[in-house]
Amino acid sequence: MPAGRYAPSPSGDLHVGNLRTAVLAWLFAQSTARDLLLRYEDLDASRTVAGSAERQRADLEALGVTFHGEVVFQSQRKHLYDDAVATLSAQGLVYECYCTRREIQDAPRAPHAPPGAYPGTCRLLSDQERRRRRAERPGALRLRAEAAQDRVHDELLGEVTASVDDFVLVRNDGAAAYNLAVVVDDHLTGVDQVVRADDLADSAPRQRYLRRLLYGAAAGDAVEYAHVPLVVNSGGRRLAKRDGAVTLAQLREQGVTPEQVRDALLRSLQLPTGPLQNAVEAFDPAALPRDPWVWEPLNG
């Protein structure tokens, strides 16, 4: 069955910006007869906080956001990412990279290349040079991209075009990088609808490109995207936990119930308040607000 997904990092409690995106992912899935899957992007062990995955799910369910199937933890799926890298390697599309972030930042690049794009420093190293660099520091694995850019259609943003450089597939600590893990997991779990914050929109073309390499053109084109506006603070900056009472636990301490938070999120989307199911019939992506939503403290 086709599915959407919500994929937080278990690095602490979700704030109202995360919760709003989850509500939208649920509404998109419900309105298109899709299951909604829950996946924890926990590849970076240094950012994983014990117990936060359970608290996150409890908070989501307190708002009425429900999920189908088993929860996926990326940290348990290394063998699947390794298989994908082997598939790409067999096509000659993977190479080792030993560059530091500083070296990438300082390296000369083509005039048309976007800021931060990888300049291809390690792409053409000789075997002797690779052995020398490998002895100095462990290498990451990069995709040998054969296109400068790609594009996707987004239900809210229209056509999104972005650079496809030789992006990292596996970090130098051996963990799968974000773009690889997302593509593999979405494909293998049947996800064909991706709803997430619009600051991630420029990663979608890269992911489409990689999905086509791994699973074919039809699979690459099967995913529907909707990148939704961020929630910001009163200063117009992306909402963060330092902005005061922005998690359900913090808001409860101030006498604000999960139902009040749910209703505030629904009002921000110009949808009927009450149980989330009440909003499904009125949900229309074309009518969603397109500007960031400014969070204002709620009173209990």
Whether 109 shows a pLDDT value over 70: the answer reads: no
- Cα separation, 222 vs 183, in Å, equals 12
In this prediction, residue 114 carries a pLDDT of 67
DSSP E strands: which ranges in the chain?
3-6, 35-40, 72-73, 94-97, 140-143, 149-154, 158-163, 168-170, 191-197, 224-228, 231-232, 293-294
Q: Would you kindly state where each structural domain of the chain is located, as residue ranges?
A: 3-76+229-294, 78-184+200-222
Residue 203 · residue 264 · CB < 8 Å:
no
Predicted model pTM: 0.93
Beta pairing partners, 143:
94
- Cα separation, 188 vs 203, in Å, equals 19
Determine the average pLDDT of the residues in 39-60: 94
* Pairing relationship of beta strands 158-163 and 149-154 according to DSSP bridges: antiparallel
Widest Cα–Cα separation across the chain: 67
What's the chain's average pLDDT? 93
Instruction: Tell me, yes or no, if the two domains 3-76+229-294 and 78-184+200-222 fold the same way.
Output: yes
pLDDT in tens, 132-189: 999 888 999 999 999 889 999 999 999 999 999 999 999 999 999 999 999 999 999 9
Whether 76 shows a pLDDT value over 80: the answer reads: yes
Residue 203 CB partners (closer than 8 Å, separation 6+): 162, 178, 179, 182
Determine the average pLDDT of the residues in 285-300: 90
User: What's the CATH fold of domain 78-184+200-222?
Assistant: Rossmann fold (3.40.50)
In this prediction, residue 98 carries a pLDDT of 94
End-to-end Cα, the chain, rounded Å: 41
In this prediction, residue 183 carries a pLDDT of 98
pLDDT in tens, 215-272: 999 998 999 999 999 999 989 999 988 888 899 999 999 999 999 999 999 999 999 9
CATH number for the domain formed by residue range(s) 3-76+229-294:
3.40.50.620
In this prediction, residue 63 carries a pLDDT of 98
Closest C-alpha to 38, from 15, 20, 61: 61
In this prediction, residue 297 carries a pLDDT of 85
